[in-house]
Amino acid sequence: MSIAVSGMNEADNTDPTERFLCLHEIVAAAEDALDPNIWNYLRGATETETTAKRNRQALDSVAFRPRVLNDMREVSVGGRLLGKDMTLPVLLAPVGSLESFEPGGGRTAMRAAAGFGNALMLSNVGTIPIEEVAAAADGLLISALYKRGDDGWLDEQVQRAKDAGCFAVSLTVDSAYYSRRERDIAARFVKPWRAGAGADWQAALNWKDVERFKERYDIPLILKGIATAEDAAMAVERGVDVVYVSNHGGRQLDHGRGALDVLPEVVDAVAGRAEIVVDGSIQRGTDLVKAIALGANAVGMGRLFCCGLAAAGEAGVLRMLSLLRDEVKTAVALLGATSLSEVGPRHVRQAAPVTDPGVFSAFPLLYRETSQF
């Protein structure tokens, strides 16, 4: 089911390289382009939105310890996950119904990911089949699944992922129940992409399903939605390949911890037995560097990725990633490291945040009278 998005990508046909000089300009353009209900869905979270704010607060509570007088003429910011090299250690995180942000949805996102040299995690909550997305470009693709059927259903989905050339499958594990997202409820906005049966299968998802997956399939498994050391340990004991630290962007359990606060205990529990991804308000180059410093192999980006899609389609996502790379390279160089892989715990310390946290508070120039971010 397609979703009308008023004014999307029609306001300005200027080359995004010239139009967007800072990341906050992409976010502002996305708000201008999107239907208010879709914009509220993008920026909203659960009930009091405390978890979403804590995601940002956790990032803002980390400060850098830079080293100086190193030769910084060559700085590398590439990353690697599950043996795949990436221009930046960034996954375009799974988001339901990418078509609500840009008509091409996953196809457009796949072209952008391939064009930049990064990976797309494609949610099965959408209208464009994974086969069409994979055919859009030769790039790195991960199938991100909510379980919507029995074992036979999962067998079919994994085979489709393999046939489409995916290098991993992700199971979302923090969504046994759908949360109360009050921005949507108050607006009486019912998301069309949530229609259909199968949610009871997600509620029944358990560790036996993980064990069956590892016994049956020969494709790497990512568990997305890990928020404690205990569950991280249980995951690696069952052979999970990637532990994805996430609280769904604050969109599931209210009053959870910020994802970056969770990351160190997960790193300790995993103890090198699996790779680690983290998301949760990662929107600036410095955010990415902090996550890598604290032990992540890569980060997921959802809201900012969707802003790029809404602002200028494929070119908007490419421009977002390019600006992010500039920010990462600057941060790494000013830390005194010649490679992102050299950044570690010695480069960071806890510090008091200086701004009130919000979904887009990483972009202070967005605050203006006509908009509430």
Catalytic machinery residues: 248
- C-alpha span between 133 and 275 (Å, rounded): 26
Residues with Cβ < 8 Å from 369, sequence gap 6 or more?
none
Q: How far apart are the two ends of the chain, measured CA to CA in Å?
A: 29
Strand 168-172, strand 140-145: pairing: parallel
- φ, ψ for residue 29, nearest 5 deg: -65, -35
- C-alpha span between 199 and 302 (Å, rounded): 22
Q: How far is CA 160 from CA 15, 132, 145, 166, 222, in A?
A: 36, 11, 12, 9, 17
Q: How far is CA 282 from CA 39, 107, 249, in A?
A: 18, 23, 10
Q: How far is CA 90 from CA 62, 222, 253, 288, in A?
A: 20, 15, 24, 8
- C-alpha span between 288 and 23 (Å, rounded): 14
Residue pointed to by tokens 């069956």: 212
Alpha helices (H) in the chain, listed in sequence order: 16-19, 23-33, 36-43, 50-60, 105-116, 130-136, 151-163, 182-186, 199-204, 207-216, 229-237, 259-270, 285-293, 303-335
What are 306's two structure tokens? 């969707």
DSSP symbol at 138: S
Residue 316 and residue 310 in contact, taking contact as beta carbons nearer than 8 Å:
yes
For residue 191, the one-letter residue type is K
What are 231's two structure tokens? 């569950």
